[in-house]
Amino acid sequence: MRMQTLITESLLQPVTAGLFGSDLVSIRDLSPVAVESLFQLASLVKARPESFRTALAGKHVAMFFEKPSLRTRITFEAGIAALGGSVSFIDHRHERLDARETLGDIAHNLERWVNAIVLRTFAHETVEGMAEHARVPVINALSELEHPCQALADYFTLQEKFGNLKGIRLAYVGDGNNVMHSLLLTAALLGSTIRIATPEDYGPDCRVLADAQEIAKQTGGRIELMTDPGRAASDVDAVYTDAWTSMGHEEEAEERGKIFPPYQVNDQLMSRARPHAVFMHCLPASRNEEVTDSVIDSLRSIVFEQAENRMHVQKAILMMLVGAKSRQQLRSAHV
């Protein structure tokens, strides 16, 4: 019981002391301690969901989506409802968020009505601008530069599977997109190893890479860049890929379809990884393009565990940002 109390106190500190910061715009907003606390809280929420049914009671979240979504929308809406909160979903697929009025004006309206803002946008600057102006927490649910909620859920899933993340080697094979950027930063933050194999001219953003390398110097993380997918997958614990053409780049699909086939994750590539290695994908998958059916449907695939954990990690993010938990609620989760 004493150990449970200590765990409870460690979880409570970031919630009450603001360790997690005021927004989640980028993985760069976090510290290793904040991620550790987030994963502890997500694990507790996943194990004892009934103990957190009123965590966001009386709290309302606005969600603005410029892009289509299945997992992001449902995991946020279901997660908020499970915590006792409520949601307003605003579909902005027909126009960009700031098309009718400035982000500052939108933010100053929203901060008077809601307790948090979730954005799924094209331009990363849209998320940054909302966070700059709004006096309530802003969460990046995907931008062209990053997908922090996805990467955090992915590494939480790896922790569930393997335990200590410092010893984990993840290979990302494919396009240097927003998901890869957040995985890169998260691996660096956790002191883990990540290998990235992309075609020439499709690697990570130079600013994101520089930041990740600087973080890795402090944590002992290791970043390896290459163009050979077979080399990247050799002797790793997890192989990760994503669609070759991200939303907003559909006009490049034909050209990319000629460049990326060598980066397909198939049985041959997976055979280069360790026997216990898992396959990961943020979904949706273009089956038999970036990944074959034989891999994504295999026992090595944990894509649906990743999808489930989006909800648990996002619950923890909301709780840490909105700060809705009480000491008694956290303690009761261990009883």
Catalytic residue among 98, 154, 242, 256: 242
Q: How far apart are CA 277 and CA 271, in angstroms?
A: 9
Read off the tokens for 248: 């907003």
108 is catalytic: no
| Strands lying side by side in the sheet with 116-120 | 86-91, 60-65, 116-120, 138-140
Report helix, strand or coil for 263. Answer: helix
Contact 137/321 with Cβ under 8 angstroms? yes
- Is the preceding omega at residue 284 within 30 degrees of 0, hence cis? yes
Burial of 305 (0-12, 13-18, 19+ CB in 10 A): middle
Listed in sequence order, the DSSP H helices in 237-281 are 253-259, 267-270
Strands 193-197 and 86-91: unpaired
Output the six-digit token pair for 154. 């992915």
Which of 159, 256, 282, 312 is an active site residue?
282
Instruction: Tell me how crowded residue 328 is: count the other CB atoms within 10 A of its CB.
Output: 8
Is the sign of the CA dihedral 260, 264, 270, 274 positive or negative?
positive
Cβ neighbours, 10 Å, residue 48 = 13
Cβ atoms < 10 Å from Cβ of 271: 11
Catalytic residue among 73, 92, 147, 300: 147
Let me know if 133 is a catalytic residue: no
Residue 267 a catalytic site member: no
- What SS3 state is found at 49? helix
DSSP, collapsed to helix, strand or coil, labels residue 231 as: helix
150 catalytic residue (yes or no): yes
Classify residue 218 by burial, with Cβ atoms within 10 Å: 0-12, 13-18, 19+.
exposed
Burial-class residue 36 by CB neighbours within 10 Å (0-12, 13-18, 19+): middle
Q: For residue 147, indicate whether it is catalytic.
A: yes
Active site positions, annotated: 120, 147, 150, 242, 282, 310
